[in-house]
Amino acid sequence: MLKPSLRLYSVITGITVLMVVFLVTLFLVFPKKSFPPARPAVKPHLAYKINIDSLDISFGTLGINQHLSALLSPFISSQVIEKIGKETRQVFDVRKLKAGNRYARISAKDSTRRTLYFIYEINDIDFVVYDFRDSLRAYCDKKKVTRLRRSAMGTIKTSLWNCFTENRLDVNLGMGLSDVYAWTVDFYGLQKGDGFKVIYDELFVDNSPIGIDRIYGALFTSNGRSYYAVYFDQPGKEGYFDLSGQSLRRSFLKAPLKFNRISSRYSGARMHPILRIARPHYGVDYAASRGTPIVALGDGRITEVGWHGGYGRFISIRHNSVYTTTYAHLSGYASGIRTGAQVRQGELIGYVGSSGLSTGPHLDFRVYKNNKPTDPLKMESPATDPVPAAGMTRFRKTSEAMKLKLDSIR
């Protein structure tokens, strides 16, 4: 017969076992009670990286000849506006406000409607904030920029511009392609059926496209020839190269200006429009509006600047021991252009005019090779430095991968 203490222990143990069995059975038979998920933390509503959940924000666009004082005088005292012009100039000079740029005013959401911040967008990315909450504080910041890798293609029917318009592509991409191929493709000689494929990054701010960043690779087909371009970054140098590693950048640009048309070509006997006699014309006349910028075709030293008889205002540039270029009938010269000055490729040297013996605004452009005239439109320009041998293994991998991507665009 069990002692009372042992009987009590047995009873307690039995009850415990029954409770465990009951709970396990309950857990297995009945579904677990579902609880609503924890609410995620509510993200604050930000504008220009400022929490505006309890504030009001309004936007506007700067008008022509509109100054900061006109924008702020209804909300901010003249003393504070004066301090902005004097004490925050190191952050941003308010004299550089541009018509058409956007601004925003952030104010308290109460009866005072007190202006707490004023923001001016310097461009699509950069902005300046004027903080009026305590003492005046000004600082610059940037919007978050998102990059999206894209590809595009097009076939030219009438012009490169129309091709981009028809395909709803950013025309800045076309400008980028013209920069990549400035030394290899004559963009003024494009024909119907020419085309391109391109891989690039497009930039977005606040989910809106703001422009094109870098072109990583392109294929341009013109006059039956295909030109691949591969972006390659190497220590201290970056640029675009063909599939063999030769630089697409040449010693000379294809043309020294953006022209409307070629009004006269290289010829051994052309009827002079004023003298009305047949005489050689060892250059190319580019018709363009008066004042159109003219740039140096390549690096070199200016050997002559000034009036040169029937050529009017005239510039001659010696690029090396082989090539010299001349620019005639100018309306004026760029600042710093003088005999003996060094110029860089693409540097502004003058403006289209009609000085000298000329019937209208145009540039008479000539190229001399070994002191003999040569047709600028047929000149083969030597390439600049190729990819160095030490970088060829990495370049081949980059170029082969890019070629596959370009060829796969349909």
Do 137 and 151 fall into the same domain? no
In contact, 101 and 120? CB cutoff 8 Å: yes
Do 172 and 135 fall into the same domain? no
CATH number of the structural domain spanning residue 190: 3.10.450.350
Do 372 and 265 fall into the same domain? yes
Domain residues for 200?
Answer: 146-241
Using the 3D structure, point to which of 211, 241, 271 is the last residue of a domain: 241
In contact, 346 and 392? CB cutoff 8 Å: no
Domain count, the chain: 3
Walk along the chain (410 residues) in steps of 10 and give the mean pLDDT of each run.
55 62 59 58 84 93 89 90 90 92 94 93 95 93 94 92 89 88 78 94 91 94 93 84 90 79 66 55 87 92 94 93 91 95 93 91 91 85 82 95 95
Asked if residue 400 is part of any domain, the answer here is: no
Asked if residue 405 is part of any domain, the answer here is: no
Do 363 and 271 fall into the same domain? yes
Residue 185 CA to its chain's centroid (Å) = 20
Do 373 and 268 fall into the same domain? yes
Using the 3D structure, point to which of 94, 114, 142 is the last residue of a domain: 142
Do 368 and 270 fall into the same domain? yes
Q: Smallest Cα–Cα separation from 222: which of 265, 260, 178, 266?
A: 178
pLDDT of residue 249: 81
Asked if residue 59 is part of any domain, the answer here is: yes
pTM for the model stands at 0.61
Can you give the C-alpha Rg of the chain in angstroms? 35
In contact, 13 and 21? CB cutoff 8 Å: no
H-helix or E-strand containing 271?
Answer: strand 267-271
Asked if residue 365 is part of any domain, the answer here is: yes
Tokens representing residue 235 in the block: 């220590």
Amino acid 275 reads L
Do 311 and 223 fall into the same domain? no
Q: How many helices (H) and strands (E) does the chain have?
A: 6, 24
pLDDT of residue 40: 65
In contact, 258 and 322? CB cutoff 8 Å: no
pLDDT of residue 335: 93
pLDDT of residue 245: 94
Do 80 and 95 fall into the same domain? yes
Asked if residue 402 is part of any domain, the answer here is: no
Strand ranges, E, within 122-207 = 126-131, 137-142, 146-155, 195-205
Do 130 and 221 fall into the same domain? no
CATH number of the structural domain spanning residue 280: 2.70.70.10
Do 131 and 191 fall into the same domain? no
Query: How far is it, in rounded angstroms, from Cα 311 to Cα 326?
Result: 10
Asked if residue 160 is part of any domain, the answer here is: yes
What pairs with residue 199 in β-bridges? 151, 217
Do 327 and 359 fall into the same domain? yes
Asked if residue 211 is part of any domain, the answer here is: yes
Asked if residue 386 is part of any domain, the answer here is: no
Do 274 and 345 fall into the same domain? yes
